[in-house]
Amino acid sequence: MSDPTVDPTLRSFLEIPDGSPFPIQNLPYGVFRRTATEPPRVGVAIGDEVLDCAALEARRLFDGPNLAGKRIFDRPSLNPLMALGRDAWREARARISRLLSRDEPLLRDDATLRGAALIPRAEVELLLPVEIGDYTDFYSSREHATNVGTMFRGPDNALMPNWLHVPVAYHGRSSSVVLSGVDVRRPMGQTKRDDEPGPRFGPSRRLDIELEMGFFVGPGNRLGEPIPVGEAEKAIFGMVLVNDWSARDIQKWEYVPLGPFLAKNFATSISPWVVTLDALEPFRCAGPEQDPEPLPYLRSEGERTFDIELEVSLQTEKMAKPQRIIRSNFRHLYWNMAQQLAHHSITGCNMRPGDLLASGTISGPSKESRGSLLELSWAGKEPIELPGGETRTFLENGDRITMTGWCRKGGRAIGFGEVTTRILPELG
């Protein structure tokens, strides 16, 4: 049975600007407030406005079996909604879609309710949408892993022996996940050049981006009970853009034998709007062929990924406007989200509502699709040329990075908004 919320002919009674990332077919969730003294609550982006779901909840307009009588939207995070599971998510989405549709008079014709529930997006402060308990970062792009391995081990040993068998990941730091618009300060740490006898302490000089996407876990699982790969998508609430910052010079010195630590814990930036898997359903596609075949607990049949176009732009302090430096696609990832979640929980690790799992750098087959400056500049040997004669190998203070994501198909398009961050100088 087709989902009416993604019907391309569906129209809202609101005027949606051409090219908006948030048509009625999208309906991404976020958390907002209008003033610093106002309590945060859950909203949905629609065109240039935010629909205040708490205002609808106060009017008892969520009256279905999974939401009636529950206080879900008058909350400072999406966690209570995520904990309810897929039936409740779909019930909420269907109700919101109906209320915003052109043919439904309940909200359209009630001026008082519209005044309370619809707020210009420019007039609200967006907040971190989720209370993130745990954060895991995967390493799931074959092209990225091959590029990095080639730089440091040569083409014959680019992929480690386990890479084609196991979705490699590390546990990140949830406390430093920040929202788009929060500036990131250049980290300090130990680094060691190859020609130096010992390490030095100071600011990272190889500060890098990582073009990623992340997903939030919904109900999760009990300790000791893995999530089967075939059931994993039912536990995924939605997706955001992720820039997982990386201090490459700090990482090079510290990563043996246990992997990333200070090079990754200073900041991870995410976009404010969480796009649900139901909104992404029309954009499903097959991922790369997996050879050798994964072990049975990781075998994933059918179209298990999404065609999401991704771009990164860079603007230095001297540039009048941003310059696109990367164009990639989420579908390039070798390991899909269901496999990542199934692998993460196969030990019985208990996933909880609000846990964030990121994809790892998303690179593709072309140079323009390389998802990090490390790859674009080939470890600093091939500077990126920018307007006005500037070049970059890694980021400098004052540089501004913006990532965007879109799904487009047959005239349909939905977006993820953006995650934008400026680099501040180190302290001291």
Active site residues: 144
Residue position matching structure tokens 């019985």? 348
The amino acid that residue 66 corresponds to is N
Could you give the 3-state DSSP secondary structure of residue 283? helix
- Cα torsion angle, 87, 89, 91, 97, sign: negative
Phi, psi of 404, rounded to the nearest 5 degrees: -135, 160
Phi, psi of 90, rounded to the nearest 5 degrees: -70, -35
Inter-residue contact 22 to 88 (CB < 8 Å): no
Q: Measuring CA to CA, which residue among 16, 80, 18 is closest to residue 51?
A: 16
Q: Measuring CA to CA, which residue among 283, 278, 239 is closest to residue 407?
A: 283
Residues 6+ apart with CB under 8 A from 140: 167, 168, 333, 334, 335, 340, 359, 360
Residues 6+ apart with CB under 8 A from 348: 223, 224, 225, 226
User: What is the chain's length?
Assistant: 428
Cα→Cα distances 347→172, 216, 231, Å = 18, 19, 16
Could you give the 3-state DSSP secondary structure of residue 6? helix
Residues 6+ apart with CB under 8 A from 162: 168
Inter-residue contact 374 to 148 (CB < 8 Å): yes
- Which DSSP letter does residue 266 get? T
Token pair, residue 188, equals: 């300090």
For residue 292, cis peptide bond before it (omega within 30 degrees of 0): yes
Cα→Cα distances 420→82, 166, 211, 270, Å = 25, 32, 12, 9
- Centre a 10 Å sphere on the Cβ of residue 268 and count the other Cβ atoms it contains: 26
What is the CA 8 to chain-centroid distance, rounded? 24
List the beta bridge partners of residue 240. 214
